[in-house]
Amino acid sequence: MNPQPESNPEVTTFACDLCDSVTVRELYTAKDRLRNTDLLFSIAECVGCGVLRTLPEMNDGELARYYPDDYWGGAAVPSQKWIASSQSEKIKFLSCCGLSGGSILDVGCGSGFFLQALSPARWERFGVETGEAAAKAAERAVGSGHVFAGTLTQSAWADSTFDVVTFWSALEHTNEPRANFREAKRIIKHGGSLIVQVPNAASYQARFFGGDWFALDAPRHRYHFTLSLLDRLLSEVGFEVYRVTYFSKAHNSHALRQSLKSKLLSRESKAFNRALFYLSIPLIKPCDLLMSALDEGATLTVAARAV
């Protein structure tokens, strides 16, 4: 991490998608955890609304080179048992929201594991995926014509088509979160639900680790949300939040472990740091469970109703 709390405001080429401000202040820098490059990326705070952005700005084509082929799912076809287990947390969240069937669109569906975990007897399943190979794999799994290869704003589904639209760890990857929410509002039926899961930029992990936080995933994550900013954006587009959780068995403790590993086990790490990391491992899950219970969890999952 390279903190720069006193850095001067800078002007960006493209305005913030949340508030249209072009002024940011760099907070710290972050490396690509996948080691596609040795470049440092800036995590900057929008002076207008406070959302964190990853800079420099990149278009979709420029960002594509930072995604390995297996980022959204590998070529191997997993067992249905593995799919059910890996997606159980998402299915449980739907159930807690009272969502048990209907037409559903998963934005950024990857190879379609979430869609495959849904009962085809209860759900009419559709997906949107920018990765060509992943989109083909998802379509093979859920049916021809059910997965659009491209972005949500390009997909052009008819008005009021879906009962539910989901963004599982997808919204943070786009340069246009507002446009995506507007499109979601158009294609969701009145009273339908939007489910959004993003890393929690207000979490204890984000504050403690800064540029070493695993869930920053620079440069692939373009916007970094807190609940207040996400709630504001949803409200402006026409949604009303009705359920929030900061708990994620799949993401939170994993992010904590990887963040500690990055911070303590660098090339220059000393024996003390290595010992500290291995001694901390048994404490990772209990610590994260406590912080998640205090609404400090590293993952923010929100359900909002189209009003």
Give the residue extent of every domain in the chain. Answer: 10-64, 80-249+300-306, 253-290
Q: What is the pLDDT of residue 11?
A: 86
What is the band of 265 on the pLDDT scale with cuts at 50, 70, 90? confident
pLDDT of residue 280 exceeding 80: yes
Q: What is the pLDDT of residue 13?
A: 85
Task: Please tell me the pTM assigned to this model.
Answer: 0.93
Q: What is the pLDDT of residue 77?
A: 80
CATH of 80-249+300-306, one of 3.40.50.150, 3.40.50.970, 3.30.70.270, 1.10.10.10: 3.40.50.150
Q: What is the pLDDT of residue 72?
A: 67
Q: Would you report the helix, strand and coil content of the chain in percent, each value rounded to 5?
A: 35, 25, 40
pLDDT of residue 167 exceeding 80: yes
* Contacts of residue 10, Cβ cutoff 8 Å, sequence gap at least 6: 23, 24, 25, 26, 44
* Contacts of residue 167, Cβ cutoff 8 Å, sequence gap at least 6: 107, 108, 180, 184, 194, 195, 196, 197, 198
The residue-averaged pLDDT of 222-230 equals: 98
The residue-averaged pLDDT of 45-54 equals: 97
Amino acid code (one letter) for 169: S
**pLDDT tens per residue, range 2-48:** 444 446 788 888 999 999 999 999 999 999 999 999 999 999 999 99
